[in-house]
Chain A
C-alpha cells in the first residue's frame, strides 16, 4: 500500500466524520437517528474499493474511539461502542469492504445500475444483517421487533444509496481512484 493510498483512506475517514457534523433527523420511537454518515460508508467503498474503503471506516472508528465527537449528533468516545446500536457501527467497515468488492467486480461496466446494486447490497443488506441481530441480542428483544424498528430507516437508506450511486458514477468518470484492472494488465 502506497502513501497515496493512506491519504485516500484518511480522506474518506474525514468525509464520514464531516457527514456526521450535519444535524441528524431523529425518528420518533427509535433511539437511532437518520444520519448522512452511511452515505460516507457507501462512497468510501464505491470510490476507494474494498481494502481502502474498509480501512477508511476503521480509521474513522479509531478517531471516534479516541474521543472525538464526530459520530452524528456529536457522539463519540468509547461509550458508543457498547450501546445497543453499536452493531451498526461495527458493520460500517464490513459494509464499505463489501461495496468496494462489488464495485471492483463491476468496474469495467460500472454505471448507475451496477453502482446501485453494490450500494444496496453493501449499504443496506450488510448493515442491517449485522445491526439488527446485534440490537436484538444486546437489548434482549425479539429479532422481529428489532427488524420492524429498523424498518423506518429503509426509505432513507434507499435514497442515500441512490445519491451515493449517482456521485460514485460521476467520480468514476471524473477521477477514478480504483485502477486494478489496467494496472494488473500492464504489470502482468
Chain B
C-alpha cells in the first residue's frame, strides 16, 4: 500500500493535465484494469514510400492485448514486428486501420496528443538502452517525470522502490558509461516504470545482452507485469525471451501467422524456423 500512496502523490499534477484525455469516449482506466483490453488494433496497415517503391510492412493486422498480459511478438527480420511495435507505442502512425489504447482511438490525434499519451500511458525499453550519457542512473530513471513537468522530489519514494526492484541502489549516482550493459538495461526498465504506465513496450530488450543477463532482465519484466498489473509487449528474436511471455504472437511478411500460449523456448524456436523457411 505504501507504493500506491507514493504513486498517487506523484500523480496529482498528471491528473490535472490528463483530464482532457480521460474525458474522451470509452475511456475508463478502472475497467481496463479489471480484465479488459489494454490495446486493441484492427486491420492495421503500414506502407512505406510511394508508387513503385512502396513497401507494405503491415498487411492488415488485428490483435487484442488484455490488461496485465506479457506478450511477445516474434518473427523473422522484415516481418514487420518493429513497425508494429512503433505503432503500438504511438511512435508512428498506421497507413490505415485502428489503434485503440485504453479505449482511446489514436487515429486523428495530433502529434501533441500522441506525445502526451506516450508520456502518461506508455513506458519504453530499447535494445540499445538509450540512456542519456550526461545523466546519472537515478536522473535517467526520473527523466520521464521531469519531461512531464513533475518535481523530482515527489518521486523520491518511487525512485527508491524502483532502485530496489532493479537492484541498483548502490549504483544510483553512476553515469551510463560506468555501468555494465545489464545494469544499463535495468536502469532503462526502471525508467520505463517510473510513472507507472499502463503499457510497457520493449524492443529487443535482451538483444544486446548475454543470455544470463538477459534472463535477469526478462524476470524483471515478468515481475513488474505481475506486480504492477502492466501490459508488456515485447518484440524479440530470442526464443528464450519469448518463452517467458504469456503469449507469443508470430508475424511473417506483415501478417499474424500464429499465436500460442505457454510454449517452451524449443517449440518457439521450431516455429520461427518454419516461418523463416516458408517466407
Partners in one complex: no
A residues bordering B, Cβ < 8 Å?
none
